[in-house]
Structure 1
Amino acid sequence: LLSFIELFPKNWQQHNYLSLGGVSGKALRQFLSERPDVERVFLCLDADKAGEDACKRLTALLPDTVSVTRIQPCMKDWNDVLVHRAEIPNRNYFKSIVLKEPSKPETVKIIRMSDVELTPVEWLWKPYLPFGKLSVLQGNPGEGKTYFA
């Protein structure tokens, strides 16, 4: 974790980081149980078989409402990337792999007219232009809309 933050120090204090201390999901589950508003998780595990397997297992543990992206180091682990960062062209330290993206149903907010509060309308030009409301000035080209406005 410290190597990762050393590589990407910009605004690190504004994010939450969690060191798993291995590949167990116990710390991650506890962390998320205390923060139900978390929507995105980035898994930054080693680029080896154990890291790959752990990413799959941890992704399966997470709720379907959480987006999961794997940030895989270009070398075996983040320590190696930090040590050899001068040798890595264009600072391409990692590749990003989306593992799970929650499906968000498209919804339309419906408001019942019985819930809308009636308010009196003040008129700027009765009954054409209400005061403080949105109005549309519509017409064919050349009919004087701009002049009127």
Structure 2
Amino acid sequence: MALDVQIRDSYSAAYVSYWACLRDPDACDPTALTASTGSARENLTDAVNQLRSSELMVGSDDFGYMVIEGVSVDPSGQTAQVQACWWDTGVVYGPPATEGGEPVVVNNLQVTSRFDTTMVLEDGEWRISEEVRTARVEGVNECPPEGS
């Protein structure tokens, strides 16, 4: 399998796993998604811990989609940069307002985000090491069509 395809597949799998973490923070293991180097592991751990302590989670609603817009591999073959656009429609829920009630919507803002992500080859797997949001636009989908 071509190297850029491996990286794309790994990033896509991490994207799905990221949303699974936000849907069930208690079952999330950030070490399974992120590299041991860089800030991504600490950032995800902090986000998951914040969800846990606030009793928040992303609901089962459609969370949107992601399009990988570019991949470049370092000549060493050990690091790669991934540029991706996320159309985030995930809804964050909190505990019910009354016992036995429905979870309360805390955030249902729809957002386009572009990320520049560093992935590293670690133990034979491509993992996210660093991720920087390079653009954020609320309420408008500026990503290419899903499946692009």
TM-score interval (norm. to shorter): under 0.3
Structure with the largest fraction of strand: 2
Structure with the largest fraction of helix: 1
The structure whose RCO (Cα within 8 Å, separation 6+) is larger is 2
Larger Rg: 1
